[in-house]
Amino acid sequence: MVIIQIADLVVTAFPNGMAHYAIGGIIIGAGVVLIYLTTGHIVGASTGLETTISYYSKLKWFQQEEFISSRDWRTVFIVGIIIGAASYTVVLGIGQWVTEVQWWRLLIGGILVGVGTRLGKGCTSGHGICGLASISPASLVNVVIFLGIAIIVAHLTELVGVIP
């Protein structure tokens, strides 16, 4: 009986199956391990973006030694994320990415995510993938805060009737 309930829960939560999530997780995990073994750095998208900006910005924040010394491989990492997502879309024939969300909402959301990333000293990929795997207490706190706020905002948005 319990096994049937668990199976029903899995089917409800993953109506299109779980294989592609498992494969994606394995690929992400292997990438994180590869980067750590070859560079000694924990990977995260926000640091990758900051180091990429260090090529162009002369602001003191972006000219930190950590950013300058690792920006080449981190830029390749960010370009790889973009190419990987685009390739996935092309291979599956999904077409272009579209949203019905107004541009100003996307802008405000992007700014809030950027501020949150700085306040949390990292992004969901750094804390959620690498930090949790490293059993970092700070990453656990950050991930709980990220998820908690996301859940609250999603429910509040739905309650007030906001639509794209």
Q: Mind listing the pLDDT tens digit for each residue in 16-68?
A: 788 888 888 898 889 888 888 988 888 888 888 888 888 888 889 888 888 88
- Give the separation between CA 66 and CA 21, rounded to whole angstroms: 33
5-9, 14-18, 128-132, 155-159: least confidently modelled range = 5-9
Residue pair 74/51 in contact (Cβ under 8 Å)? The answer is yes
Residue with tokens 């993938």: 129
Going by pLDDT thresholds of 50, 70 and 90, the confidence category of residue 137 is: very high
Residue 152 pLDDT: 93
Q: Is the confidence at residue 121, as pLDDT, over 80?
A: yes
Q: pTM of the prediction? A: 0.69
Dump pLDDT digits (tens) for 63-99. Answer: 888 888 888 888 888 898 889 888 888 887 776 677 7
Residue pair 70/51 in contact (Cβ under 8 Å)? The answer is yes
